[in-house]
Amino acid sequence: MRTSSYHAAPSDTPGAQQAVYPQYTSRTEMTTCSYTGCSRRVWQDPDGSFSLYCSKNHRDAAVMSLPSAQVCQHCKIRPVYIENGRAHNFCGVRCATAHKQHGGLPAGRRTAQVPSPISANPVCGLSSCDKAVFVNRSGQPSNYCSQGHRVTAVATGEAEACLKCARFPKATINSKLSDFCSIRCRDDTFGEAPCILEIASSHEIFTSVVNQFNEQWRHLDENPEVPVVHKVWKIFASKPIVGQFDRYRLSVERRTSLEGGNSIRRWHGTVRACNLGDEPRENGLCQDDICSLCCIIRTSFQLAQAGKRTNFGRFGAGIYTSATSSKAHDYVAQSPTAPSSYEAILLNDVVVGKTKKLTVSDPSLIEPPAGFDSVTGEPGGDLNYDECIVYKNDAIRPLFLVVYHPNNTQAVVRAARRRRGSISP
């Protein structure tokens, strides 16, 4: 059983020490939240350690009662880290490193879920309504005066719909739009994972993905027409896969001090032996072993499969992606057992960390060069277009499934390039 050890820090505020630093010396998955009146279990961090609280809300509420000496000197929103009875000045490695290097706030720093001040007369978020918002029993206000106006806001396009129920508006957490309207929709989705949910064309993330696809389609000398995106689906992986990815990303972030482990979105083309994503009804993963697309969504990427399709890896036995959507398109294939009018490609979250830039092939690689987390193949030398290679399963996970209209010219050109052997993974 994984435990987290800590000791109490001195406090000048009566009750503050008890509220933030309990009197036991280790935390496990059975530990109860330290927030007064809460009986839920504590949160487990992606690195396997355990928090003092069940959620950011309870952590931040407790921090508000702390004296300044017990609050991180950098972010000002989290309690200081306690190690062997000694209170540090910061909450963790990220804030300590950022404070030392910059003396200011780190770029893209996390913010606490501290409730925004509520105005005296909050008004319904529907533009045509001036009624007061609904307030629940715990005093938390809604953004709307009624369920009816929540539905209307989605129907009229004033709010983005929950990806799961498609009826109510997405919830906003820390000024960031969630994928879901409620905890129920979120939990139902992760209970069904692995699965995909369609993103409406009116949503901002749809536009973001399509723009990345269009702007990074660079084989325009062969065909000036960029394929038209038909559907974009959000991929929800199983909890174990998400947990492994999050732990790896956090470990790279802590080791390199790179925000989010320097994770970036990159394209990957593979074989599809079904019609997943073609239409709304085509939303279930198939069970065909030759359908690499569904296998990746179900179990994420597997190094054991490296090179099996191409029998070649310019930078060794790794998992290959590219910033160039048209390059990844070269590896997209539709099985003749499941003919389709569309093609499908994956947009993935890749933890690049500290990357080694190479322009000359090295097929002998089975891991990044010493001191690096990945390899980036740069154009020039052996490459015409970029490649990003990671050598750990946990360093990548699929984020979006993009379904698009191919055209005959692209198919002919791609087949010719394969015959010439000019396509590398």
pLDDT for 264-321, tens place per residue? 999 999 999 999 999 999 999 999 999 999 999 999 999 988 777 766 689 999 999 9
Q: Which residues of 188-219 are buried (b: 16+ CB within 10 A; e: fewer)?
A: ebbeebbbbbbbeeebebbeebbebbeebbbb
Q: Which residues of 12-42 are buried (b: 16+ CB within 10 A; e: fewer)?
A: eeeebbebbbbeeeebeeebebbbeebeeeb
Global model pTM greater than 0.85: no
User: With 90 as the cut, is the pLDDT of residue 29 above it?
Assistant: no
d(CA 270, CA 300): 13
Instruction: Determine what percent of the chain is predicted with pLDDT higher than 70.
Output: 79
Q: Which of 52-61, 63-72, 152-161 is most confident?
A: 152-161
Look at residue 390 in the predicted model and tell me its pLDDT. Answer: 98
Residue range(s) occupied by CATH 3.90.228.10 in the chain: 196-420
Among the residues of 108-161, which ranges form H helices? 147-155
Fold of the domain built from segment(s) 196-420: Phosphoenolpyruvate Carboxykinase; domain 3 (3.90.228)
Q: What is the mean pLDDT of the chain?
A: 82
Q: How many CB atoms lie within 10 A of CB 10?
A: 11
User: With 60 as the cut, is the pLDDT of residue 419 above it?
Assistant: no
d(CA 387, CA 49): 34
SS3 83: strand
Look at residue 339 in the predicted model and tell me its pLDDT. Answer: 94
* pLDDT: which is higher, 78 or 162: 162
Confidence class of residue 12 from pLDDT cuts 50, 70 and 90?
Answer: very low
Phi, then psi, of 298 in degrees rounded to 5 = -75, -45
Look at residue 47 in the predicted model and tell me its pLDDT. Answer: 62
User: From residue 157, how far is each of 126, 164, 184 by CA, in Å?
Assistant: 10, 17, 23
